[in-house]
Amino acid sequence: MSYYFYEDHKRDYDLGCGLVFVCAVLLAIASFVVPALLLGIGVFVVGRLVVVYLQGLRSALGIGKGPHRTAVVPEPPKQHTDGRDPAWPHYLYGPAGNDLRNAAGVIWPTVRGRVTEDFRWLWLKMLKPRDRNRIFRRPAGIVIGAGILLGDALAAAAIALLATWQITIWALLVAVGFGFVHVLRGVDTVLLRIKGIRIFCQSCHQNVPYPVYACPGCARKHHDVRPGRYGMRYRICFCKERMPTLLLLGSARMEAFCTACEEPMATNTGTAVDSVLPVLGSPQSGKTRLMLAIVMSLYEKTSPHGATAQFADDESKDAYERFVPALRNGIDTWKTLPLGDRPLRSYSVYVKPPKGRTRLLHVFDPPGEVVKTAAELQSQRFLVQARTFLFVLDPLSIPALWSGLGRSEKRELDKYRSQMAPSAVFAQVLNAVQNLGVDTGKARLAVAITKHDLLRDHLPAADGDGIRDWLESDEVGLDNMVRSMRKTFAEVAFFRTSARIDERGSLDPNIAALTAWILRNEGLRLYT
């Protein structure tokens, strides 16, 4: 009896110990294994979804090996249309926003697909099967499912954080970009102001904010290359050629056109201060020959003042090369023809003094007929830009001098004579210049008595004041005109010139003196 009693108690005891052991194991699983499993699955799911996010982003931005799902970038217009240039917009001005939207479109379905796939696997492999292992599989499935849920929640937070961070980076870049654009434009404008540089069109005589530039690769015209929508330091043309956006950054190297009239501008426009020199006088007074002689004295480095010149555009160079042989051979130059409604284009040269900065000199040679009517003279808008005027006076047109010549001299010189009296021409010029609003009190006037070689015996040998005295003398009778000149202009100088080249191929030295006076008054530092 006692033996059986002992055996029963021992079995109960063993059973109790076993139950305690099972409970302890279950408790251990519940306390350590399940949380560890949950955490492990959660971390795995987070890591995998973050990788999915980054892969989606990489694919949406077209980085690394394909397949890529980049946003379609709309092609820019092939030519300037509706205020749009043929250039690719800067990344921060549109395409970056498109990329972010595209990335969201690529990443969201991929992440959602991966999450759905996880739960489908959980349902099909762990929870749904009704086999004999379901007693173990279902609790394990519940634990794994909880881990996946935890991972998804954490991944959603991590991805939201990443996406927000990415948008913040983009917004920061955009803000910095906008700031940089304005700083660049500001610096360029300030530098141009400090240097006193303006963008002057020698065709339509207007100052423009910035030139139109042709792409060095495909010659497409870009109407406003300055930093902005299409680029900061450079823009990319339709043809993928890079174009600098500012004069500061080298845009002057490109071919420039006027914004207003679309005519070609001077090469390297915007790199030098420009000066406008109108050469005014009656028809046949020798304006064109004098202008050519001035340019020749600079271009062919024959003058003692040390300044040299380079043509600023092909038109000026072509005109010079076409007509200088006439000057050399002593034959008549062409007559400047009225241009109808077309504005007059200047002959433009870069003048480099021995010391100091190069200057862009625009010499305007309007046809003499222009001075006949005040209205036509006032339509010459380049006069507004000028601070130095060159008045060309044909001595043959001075009535007193002409009447004093002999009959044979008159017959010989008549073909060279300008028909308008100098005082009438000057009155017309002065009237037009003042009506255009030019402050003549701050302007300078050079008076060049031309054709000195034809009237050597009738003109005074002295220069400067000697010529002024001669003009004011009773013999010539232009005292009223000279008085008006001296009263109106801040500075007046008189020169006796000849545009003829002597046997040695040298120009009249007075041309160099006249050129030096003009350039010195425009701020150039010369030797003499």
Distance between CA atoms of 101 and 163, rounded to whole angstroms? Answer: 11
Rounded CA separation 477/400 (Å): 7
Question: DSSP H helical segments within 437-508, as ranges?
Answer: 465-472, 479-488
**H-type alpha helices, 337-476:** 374-378, 382-385, 399-403, 407-413, 422-435, 465-472
The Cα 311–Cα 258 span in angstroms is: 18
Measured N-to-C along each axis, helices 465-472 and 479-488 cross at an angle, to the nearest 10 degrees, of: 130
Write down how long the chain is.
528
Report how far apart the first and last C-alpha atoms of the chain are (Å, whole number).
Answer: 146
Q: How far is the CB of 97 from another protein (least distance, A)?
A: 12
Within 10 Å of residue 462's Cβ, how many Cβ atoms? 13
3-state secondary structure of 223: coil
Q: What's the min distance (Å) between Cβ of 95 and another protein?
A: 5
CA 287/CA 386 separation, integer angstroms: 17
Which one, 170 or 178, has the nearer CB to another protein?
Answer: 170
Q: How far apart are CA 463 and CA 516, in angstroms?
A: 14
| Smallest distance, another protein to C-beta of residue 214, A | 20
In the chain, the amino acid numbered 262 is E
Which positions ≥6 away from 197 have C-beta within 8 Å?
270, 271, 272, 273, 274
Min dist CB 37 to another protein, Å, is 23
Our CB check for another protein shows the closer of 45 and 319 to be 45
Are the beta carbons of 301 and 351 closer than 8 angstroms? Answer: no
235 versus 345: smaller Cβ distance to another protein:
235
Shortest Cβ 166–another protein spacing (Å):
5
Is residue 370 within 8 Å of residue 424, measured between CB atoms? no
* Residue (103 or 327) nearer to another protein, CB: 103
Q: Please give the Cα distance from 322 to 332 (Å, whole number).
A: 13
Q: How far is the CB of 110 from another protein (least distance, A)?
A: 16
Name the residue among 340, 419, 435 with its Cα closest to residue 372.
Answer: 419
Strand partners, 212: 257
- In the complex with another protein, which residue's Cβ is closer, 150 or 236? 236
Nearer to another protein, 96 or 201 (CB): 96
**What single letter denotes the amino acid at residue 213?**
Y
What is the rounded distance in angstroms from the CA atom of residue 47 to the CA atom of residue 412?
104
100 versus 476: smaller Cβ distance to another protein = 100
Question: Residue 20 or 73: which CB sits closer to another protein?
Answer: 73
In the complex, minimum distance from the CB of residue 236 to another protein, in angstroms, rounded to a whole number: 5
Chain-centre distance of CA 505, in angstroms?
Answer: 43
Measured from the CB atom, the residue of 170 and 416 that comes closer to another protein is: 170
Angle subtended by helix axes 287-299 and 509-521, to nearest 10: 80
- By CB under 8 A, name the binding residues for another protein: 54, 57-58, 61-63, 70, 73, 88, 91-92, 95-96, 99, 162, 165-166, 169-170, 173, 236, 240
| Closest distance of CB 142 from another protein, Å | 31
| Helices 287-299 and 314-329, axial angle in degrees (round to 10) | 110
CA angle 184, 190, 196 (to 5 degrees): 135
The neighbour count for residue 369, using CB atoms within 10 Å, is 15
Least CB distance to another protein at residue 252 (A): 23
Residue 17 C-beta: closest distance to another protein, Å? 43
Closer Cβ to another protein, 95 or 129, answer by number: 95
Query: Long-range contacts made by residues 175-182, C-beta under 8 angstroms, separation at least 24?
Result: 177/90, 177/92, 177/232, 180/227, 180/232, 181/227, 181/228, 181/232
Closest to another protein by CB, 22 or 157 = 157
Q: Which is nearer to another protein, 99 or 188 (CB)?
A: 99
Say if CB 470 and CB 517 are below 8 A apart: no
Q: Which DSSP state fits 344?
A: P
Query: Least separation, in Å, of the C-beta of 23 and another protein?
Result: 36
- Minimum CB separation of residue 61 from another protein in Å reads 4
Beta carbon nearer to another protein, 129 or 216: 216
**Closest separation between CB of residue 91 and another protein, Å?**
4
